[in-house]
Structure 1
């Protein structure tokens, strides 16, 4: 199954962006592995993935969950590239911010550890969000870059919808950058 341009992995295969990326990767000759979150007793219709052109020969679907950071190991093993697009969303804010943040950070670090352990991954792409850079709290409109970060305390003071997502996304991206600095950039 690894013939063609190579074997790549996409987290969160049932997501909008991930499913389009999977389609494009298949079109360009890649063999693609993806993961979906398994829910006991609930069957997901993923026919929009499995019915893609070339999917029968070049798409493998695994189960993984951010609550089990080691669940990404099997899917990533042997891959040359990883696109980390999944993120545990809870816009309804049913869970405390700390729980969502821990799940997001631990899951992302699990993906990154699996990349290092695989010893075959040459490139990792992590999806970002404007939420990580847009609210500086200084009132000035400015161009943002990799040194710009949302001021979490400022955003919390606005008492807006989606605070737990913004906080979790910020802390997750910072943890991923720290991990990369320590393990991948040396």
Structure 2
């Protein structure tokens, strides 16, 4: 209550919920966006309860070193969520790797200058966890997994490469400069939208519902609710004993299972029949919940997350039925 924290990339899907929950908890939030003049980035944040009194918006550019100096000044905690998310790119270095890697280091360099900062929490991804050549426990993914940059490059998984390189650089910088760092690794994030535009994961969910276009091979998704991810950020900051990396996955399920759940909840929703090679089979792996739950995180049931994202997409006219 009353603490000052910073959220980078505040207009994003996860970050908008993080700002909302921080304000609800009494925090004062200094939040960065790419453009203060773009209403799609700022109006939904300004309308949050407590925003008028305790939300301060700033423009900042990930690539420009020093652009976060004034924002993190006076903060006790920094939540770095800003990083581009897309899978199809023409120039991976410019579009994904530089913003993720340089952006993360620029934020950490700014944090290094501020003695009041107690902890930095970075939003990473399961993409920096999953790409392992010879895992010791193939069917059970946990925080000991770390994606291999060479494998990411070999498979042309540029998003995974960007998140992996950014995380490795973050841990190295934090260790060398005495920064208390935590990284969070959400899977495929679903749940209601606060922002007025579709982000990458909600757009891909619309494509899945409308056209049966599967984002992931075999249609196996590591689902997690956006509200749980936002809550995990706050728990990771507030829990004194929190440390290291945290996988954030509520349930691993096939896309056809999600469609079956949705058909039960929304009888009028027409969804395509998704046929995958492993239909009827259980996913070949699970992701550990133990470490995240040790923070006090309670995962939202998949049925609730699916219901809420579809209702949200309908309310915002991205789906009609």
The question of a shared fold, defined as TM-score above 0.5 by the shorter chain, is answered with yes
1:111 to 107, 110, 121: 107
Residue matched to 1:6: 3
CA contact (8 A) 1:88 1:100 kept: yes
- Partner residue, 1:68: 64
Q: Secondary structure at the match of 1:32?
A: strand
Instruction: Report how many residues are paired.
Output: 178
Larger Rg: 2
Give the corresponding residue for 2:26.
29
Q: Which residue of 2 aligns with 1:17?
A: 14
Alpha-carbon separation, structure 1, partners of 2:13 and 2:92: 25
Distance 2:9 2:101 in 1: 15
State the Cα deviation string for residues 32-91 of structure 1 (Å, max 9, x = none): 01100139xx72432110010110010000001112131111110000111111112343
Q: Which has the higher strand share?
A: 2
Q: Aligned residue for 1:101?
A: 97
The CA distance in 2 between the partners of 1:34 and 1:128, in whole Å, is 18
Query: RMSD across aligned C-alpha pairs, in angstroms?
Result: 2.2
Q: Structure 1 length as normaliser, TM-score?
A: 0.86
In 2, the alpha carbon distance for the partners of 1:158 and 1:182 equals 31
Match of 1:123 in 2: 119
TM-score normalised per structure 2: 0.51
Structure 1: runs of 5+ lacking an equivalent: none
Q: Deviations over 1:129-153 (max 9, x none)?
A: 1111112122762434444211233
Alpha-carbon shift at residue 27 of structure 1 (Å): 0.5
Residue number in structure 2 paired with 1:43: 38
Given that 1:66 and 1:88 are in contact with CA atoms closer than 8 Å, whether structure 2 keeps it comes out as no
Match of 2:278 in 1: none
Residue 78 of structure 1 is matched in structure 2 by 74
Cα offset for 1:11?
Answer: 0.8
Unaligned runs of 5+ in 2: 181-321
Is 1:172 the counterpart of 2:166? The answer is: yes
From 82, 88, 92, give the equivalent of 1:92. Answer: 88
Question: Alpha-carbon deviations, 1:6-43, whole Å to 9, x = none?
Answer: 1000111011110001001101111001100139xx72
Structure 2 residue 155 is the aligned partner of structure 1 residue 155: no
